[in-house]
Structure 1
């Protein structure tokens, strides 16, 4: 919390290859995917950032027609505008 990191924390590898011999491009792709999944909150306008709750304005379900009403007069309610 003092702003200075211990040498152990700095030298610890983030990724470790256990088997195989990946190319630098494959390691870069894996690093990009893991960084994208980390959800670091700086990307407030992008999907999946989780910094703001989703509003009904962006919900796709509001464009779908509602289910028809069940019971007497349901057929009438299904054709009337809402």
Structure 2
């Protein structure tokens, strides 16, 4: 695995942290069986907002009308 810094001058600690994240993501992706769907983020799960009441008109109702899919 090769990582190239395109901009900036990161410290060795910053590079080590970035590499740890990239390697952890690669290991998690390799551990998943092929053809399996990645886990859905909690914020995009429709059941998160399905149990709430139907939004009523008002100044903040726009924030409750989006149904993530």
What's the TM-score, normalizing by structure 2? 0.39
Larger radius of gyration: 1
